[in-house]
């Protein structure tokens, strides 16, 4: 038997052509498409305004892989972590982060990760596969449903800061964002989306060449190649000079916001000398913000977070040298939902 096609790989003209070919009405294509992308159906059975026989025929002819929620946890601070199961049995995690001004979905792009950053729980996992564009979309849709159900408020922002390296799943991430921002789907502004990368210089340049409209964050985490090589193996092939050049290319092409992410590790990258080196990097990039991130402990990893006094000294130096800096406090630590903690512990 021929393998069934994934219905969500069909655009609206494709669906119209299909319904015409089977002798059905073209408006059935519009109804089906709305179920796929606006009403976020998880199965053909849910498409209640389609005749039962048509739903059965669609189920016979098409696959409809979708995520399902496997487990949920709520932090003391209101953060919600969801573990999702894929159609082939893998687990991934997404997080809903509520604040006074924002409701942010933190989503994953891969099952596991191949980069092995030494301070990150996900980096200890094997990368099993890339997520498809519809699996990424499903995360956002399900986290949005959770925001509406729990807080009566829709998502305001999306960050690709979950499991995996987004730029190593380039095509699917961009296709997912196209659907998330499309007027016939979720219709979210691309300016409310940030893709975070550990630093794949070639693909950062590609984002610029492709004229993307979303924002970019670089997980820098160390201000020199010597120190970055120690904690982020990717720096050996994508050093800071290459990343500076790529980020400048990205900004020249798009004028989109660039953020530098910098997790403070006690005794590793939090000295005054490190702050001085970070200022040098900051001045080479048209970045609008440095996010100084509180490190979150991970079992089996020896790093510890910087103390409050050292964090203050570090950030005070940055401020004194006209760096726009924000200290990002951890959310969801008690349920392993904070930055660097996603590892399917559930």
Banded pLDDT at 346 (limits 50, 70, 90): very low
Over 40-109, what HEC string results?
Answer: CCCCHHHCCCCCHHHHHHHHHHEECCCCEEEEEEECCCCCEEEEEECCCCCEEEEEEEECCCCEEEECCC
Task: Give the residue-averaged pLDDT of 25-47.
Answer: 95
Based on the residue annotation, tell me whether 120 is a catalytic residue of this protein: no
* pLDDT-above-90 percentage for the chain: 83
CA atoms of 63 and 9, how far apart (whole Å): 10
Task: Give the residue-averaged pLDDT of 169-196.
Answer: 97
| Contact between residue 343 and residue 296 where contact means Cβ atoms under 8 Å apart | no
Give every CB contact of residue 255 below 8 A, 6+ residues apart in sequence. none
> How do residues 111-152 score in pLDDT, each as one tens digit?
988 887 888 877 677 788 999 999 999 999 999 999 999 999
| Contact between residue 194 and residue 158 where contact means Cβ atoms under 8 Å apart | yes
Based on the residue annotation, tell me whether 93 is a catalytic residue of this protein: yes
| Contact between residue 20 and residue 26 where contact means Cβ atoms under 8 Å apart | yes
Catalytic residue selected from 45, 53, 93, 106: 93
pTM for the predicted model, two decimal places: 0.92
Banded pLDDT at 2 (limits 50, 70, 90): low
pLDDT > 70? residue 31: yes
User: Domains in the chain, ordered, with CATH?
Assistant: 5-63 (1.10.150.530), 68-335 (3.20.20.70)
* pLDDT-above-70 percentage for the chain: 94
CA atoms of 212 and 175, how far apart (whole Å): 11
**Residue position matching structure tokens 């059935």:** 28
Phi then psi for 328, rounded to 5 degrees?
A: -100, 110
Question: Would you call 230 exposed, middle or buried from its count of C-beta atoms within 10 A (0-12, 13-18, 19+)?
Answer: middle
Task: Give the residue-averaged pLDDT of 30-57.
Answer: 96
> How do residues 311-340 score in pLDDT, each as one tens digit?
999 999 999 999 999 998 766 555 555 554
82-96, 113-127, 210-224, 276-290: which has the minimum mean pLDDT?
113-127
Banded pLDDT at 343 (limits 50, 70, 90): very low
> How do residues 259-274 score in pLDDT, each as one tens digit?
999 999 999 999 999 9
Catalytic residue selected from 106, 113, 120, 339: 339
Mean per-residue pLDDT of the chain? 92
Q: Which helix (H) or strand (E) holds 159?
A: strand 157-160
Task: Give the residue-averaged pLDDT of 287-299.
Answer: 89
Give me the sheet containing 193-197, strands edge to edge: 68-74, 80-85, 91-98, 103-106, 157-160, 193-197, 215-219, 258-264, 289-294, 325-328
């Amino acid at each position: 038997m021929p393998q069934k096609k994934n219905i969500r790989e069909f655009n609206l003209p494709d669906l119209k052509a299909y319904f015409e070919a089977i002798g059905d009405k073209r408006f059935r294509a519009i109804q089906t498409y709305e179920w796929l992308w606006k009403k976020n159906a998880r199965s053909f059975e849910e498409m209640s305004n389609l005749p039962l026989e048509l739903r059965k025929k669609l189920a016979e002819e098409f696959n409809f892989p979708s995520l399902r929620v496997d487990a949920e946890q709520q932090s003391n601070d209101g953060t919600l972590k969801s573990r999702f199961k894929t159609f082939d049995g893998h687990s991934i995690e997404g997080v809903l982060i509520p604040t006074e001004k924002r409701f942010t979905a933190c989503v994953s792009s891969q099952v596991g990760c191949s980069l092995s950053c030494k301070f990150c729980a996900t980096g200890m996992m094997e990368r099993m596969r890339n997520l498809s564009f519809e699996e990424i979309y499903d995360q956002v849709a399900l986290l949005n449903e959770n925001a509406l159900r729990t807080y009566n408020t829709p998502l305001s922002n999306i960050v690709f800061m979950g499991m995996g390296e987004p730029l190593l799943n380039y095509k699917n991430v961009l296709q997912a964002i196209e659907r998330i921002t499309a007027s016939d789907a979720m219709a979210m502004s691309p300016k409310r989306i940030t893709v975070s990368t550990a630093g794949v210089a070639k693909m950062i340049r590609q984002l610029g060449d492709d004229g993307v409209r979303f924002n970019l964050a670089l997980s820098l985490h160390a201000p020199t190649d010597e120190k970055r090589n120690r904690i982020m193996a990717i720096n050996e092939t994508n050093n800071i000079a290459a990343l500076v050049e790529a980020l400048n290319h990205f900004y020249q092409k798009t004028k989109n916001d660039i953020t530098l992410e910098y997790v403070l590790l006690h005794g590793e990258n939090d000295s005054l000398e490190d702050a001085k080196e970070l200022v040098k990097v900051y001045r080479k990039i048209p970045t609008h913000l440095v996010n100084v991130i509180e490190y979150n402990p991970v079992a089996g990893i020896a790093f510890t977070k910087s103390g409050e006094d050292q964090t203050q000294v570090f950030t005070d130096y940055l401020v004194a040298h006209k760096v726009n800096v924000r200290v990002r406090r951890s959310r969801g630590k008690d349920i392993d939902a904070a930055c660097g903690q996603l590892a399917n512990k559930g």
